[in-house]
Amino acid sequence: EQPTVCSCRDYDGYLNPSDPTMITADDRKKLVEWCYHFVDHCQLSQQTVASAIDMVDRFLFTTSISNSSADNAVKVVSDEILRDQNKLQLLSITALYVAIKVNERVVVSSDRLAEMCRRVHTTGEIEEMERILLSGLSWKCHAPTAHQVGLSILSLVEPYVDIPEETWE
């Protein structure tokens, strides 16, 4: 509803870094795939992954640019993540944790998520990252995703054309 509020401004620098110590698009892709694997395993909606990755991107984009009102602690964390695959994984898992809370009917505990990543991250770390993620996003965890826009367009078109239900998801 408010596209400007949820938009990211520093698209160019992100995931196309000239600096070799920065995370790459490949690192991000691996995590997206891990998330899809996880939701398939738990029989959750793919929309949840779209929502989680949207949060990851927005968190890293919006806080990577210097913003006077942005909380310093959040900025420090997001700068760290941009140089640390391990921390990027923690952020992605946390975003998935939040997206499940927002989108799904079932509850997936932080312990379950910690277990799924072979306890590389503890439940305490996930819950702490949740707070940082939420405040970094100013609690805007309901942003529309491309996935939803696609579904929304399909639902408008649907009465006029014959689309098999299977192709929707």
Partner 1 sequence: MPKADRWSSDEEEIVLLSLLPKPISHLDEGTYGVVWKARDNATQEIVAIKQIKFDSDMTKEGFPISALREIGVLLSLSHESIVSVREMVVGSTPDKVFMVMDCFEMDLQAAMKKGPGASTPFAQSEVKYMMRQILSAMAHVTSIARKYEHPARNMTQMVVTLWYRAPELLFSESCYGPEIDTWSIGCIFGELLIKEAILKGTGELDQIQKIFKLLGTPTDDEYWEQLWSKQGSTFKWKNNDSDLARTFAVNSFSATGQSYLSPDGFDLLSRLLSLNPKKRITAEDALRHSYFSCGVTEQVPMFYV
Distance CA 64, CA 73 (A): 12
Among 76, 102, 120, 154, binds partner 1 (CB under 8 A): 102
**Interface with partner 1 includes 125 (CB under 8 A)?**
no
Q: Which stretch binds partner 1 (CB under 8 A): 10-18, 54-62, 81-89, 136-144?
A: 136-144
Beta strands (DSSP E) in 61-116 are none
Nearest to partner 1 of 15, 60 (CB atom): 60
**Interface with partner 1 includes 116 (CB under 8 A)?**
no
SS3 141: coil
The residue to which tokens 């997936």 are assigned = 108
Q: Is 44 exposed, middle or buried (0-12, 13-18, 19+ CB in 10 A)?
A: buried
Nearest to partner 1 of 9, 101 (CB atom): 101
Nearest to partner 1 of 45, 85 (CB atom): 45
DSSP state of 166: G
Number of residues forming the site for partner 1 (CB under 8 A): 33
Q: Binders of partner 1 among 25-84, rule CB under 8 A?
A: 45, 47, 69-71, 74
- What b/e readout covers 126-142, taking b as 16+ CB neighbours within 10 angstroms? beebbebbbebbeeebe
Distance CA 129, CA 59 (A): 12
Distance CA 96, CA 133 (A): 11
Nearest to partner 1 of 5, 161 (CB atom): 5
**Interface with partner 1 includes 161 (CB under 8 A)?**
no
Q: How many residues does the chain have?
A: 169
User: Where does this chain bind partner 1 (CB under 8 A)?
Assistant: 1-2, 45, 47, 69-71, 74, 97-98, 101-102, 105, 107, 109-110, 126-128, 130-131, 134-135, 138-142, 144, 148, 151-152, 155
